[in-house]
Amino acid sequence: MFKFKKYLTEKQELVNNSLRNILEHFTVNNRLMKAVEFSLMAEGKRVRPVLCIAACEAVHGDIRDTLPVACALEMIHTYSLIHDDLPAMDDDDLRRGKPTCHIQFDEATAILAGDALLTLAFQILSSANILSGHNVKNHPSVWLKIINILSSASGWNGMIGGQMLDISSEDSVLNLDKLEHMHSLKTGALIEASVSAGAIIGGCNTKQLKHLSLYAKKIGLAFQVADDILNVEGDPLVMGKTAGTDAHRNKNTYPSLMGLNGSKKFAGQLICDALQALNNFDKSSDPLRKIASYIINRKK
């Protein structure tokens, strides 16, 4: 039987080692580097990198080829957390069980550390052969495609656009459609990019990509619903961040629109849909199946 916990730990380790290798490749040793390292190497779930790796496995690709992408995804995710936590944005003090970057360092350093991580992601993707420690086989045009997928997903038609919508909709009530649209941009787009990029690196065909994208859309939304539920009933000590902040800020959330039970039912249905999208895949997609369940059963 497939042991998910072991799989997850192994893949997280693989990603952490690759991230560490990348940081060591650069000889910058100053406050900026320390801030980048502080935020990037803080204990994270590495959901996006693991999804990228698992999608590559699902289409029988070589997972070593995904490592530059996996690292770039985690860099983009971490930069978005650093900037979202800033006083002018969500003004959060706690993240991944540690002080947020601007609390540990200062605001200017946090802004620059975020900028540096976003830039580094594209530096890594454009020199994948040099930094992966493994002769990455994909053609340059595949790497260009990956850069386009990641930049589109994290830009103003994706993650940044979603964050803007989120900020501007505080204190006003969204309906479910608008809430879903906001989340499909804010978190969904990068999660879908993680899966698509992994599948493309693994050499998927068009039909596989279509099914995997659907899987990703469903788990992306489920991930957000689960996050909203955790914000209501999660344990701050386990989560490593403050609970109850959404209600405090009058944020539009699934529990606020469909209640706690309604939200849990909805998350369950999304995971069913996600699993169905994997129907035509063999046992190699077991990690993707397990990640789907993990997303709604996690405690942080």
Chain residues binding a second copy by CB under 8 A are 26, 28, 30-33, 36, 79, 83, 86, 88-89, 106-109, 111-112, 114-116, 118-120, 122-123, 125-127, 139-141, 143-145, 147-148, 151-152, 154-157, 160-161, 163-165, 167-168
Residue 70, both tokens: 């996996």
Nearer to a second copy, 190 or 277 (CB): 190
11/48 with CB nearer a second copy: 48
For the chain, what is the HEC assignment?
A: CCCHHHHHHHHHHHHHHHHHHHHHHCCCCCHHHHHHHHHHCCCCCCHHHHHHHHHHHHCCCCHHHHHHHHHHHHHHHHHHHHHHCCCCCCCCCEECCEECHHHHCCHHHHHHHHHHHHHHHHHHHCCHHHHCCCCCCCCHHHHHHHHHHHHHHHCCCCHHHHHHHHHHCCCCCCCHHHHHHHHHHHHHHHHHHHHHHHHHHCCCCHHHHHHHHHHHHHHHHHHHHHHHHHHHHCCHHHHCCCCCHHHHCCCCCHHHHHHHHHHHHHHHHHHHHHHHHCCCCCHHHHHHHHHHHHHHHCCC
Phi-psi group of 110: left, alpha or beta (phi > 0 → left; psi -120 to 50 → alpha; rest → beta):
alpha
Nearer residue to a second copy within complex by CB, 54 or 147: 147
CB of 151: closest distance to a second copy in angstroms?
4
For the bound state, the minimum distance from the C-beta of residue 119 to a second copy, rounded and expressed in Å, comes to 4
Q: Which residue, 31 or 98, has its beta carbon nearer to a second copy? A: 31
Shortest approach of a second copy to residue 110 CB, angstroms?
Answer: 8
Q: How far is the CB of 271 from a second copy (least distance, A)?
A: 30
CB of residue 153 to a second copy, shortest distance in Å: 9
Question: In the numeric block, which tokens belong to residue 17?
Answer: 């080692």
Q: Which is nearer to a second copy, 130 or 173 (CB)?
A: 130
Write the CA distances from 169 to 75, 165, 181, integer angstroms.
27, 6, 12
**Minimum distance from residue 73 beta carbon to a second copy (Å):** 14
What's the CA gap between 40 and 17, in Å, rounded? 12
Residue nearer to a second copy on the CB measure, 2 or 26: 26
Q: Kindly state the smallest distance separating residue 111's Cβ from a second copy, in Å.
A: 6
Of 60 and 248, nearer to a second copy (C-beta) is: 248
Nearer to a second copy, 151 or 213 (CB): 151
How near is the Cβ of 133 to a second copy at its closest, in Å?
17
* Apex 284 CA angle, 54 and 75, nearest 5: 5
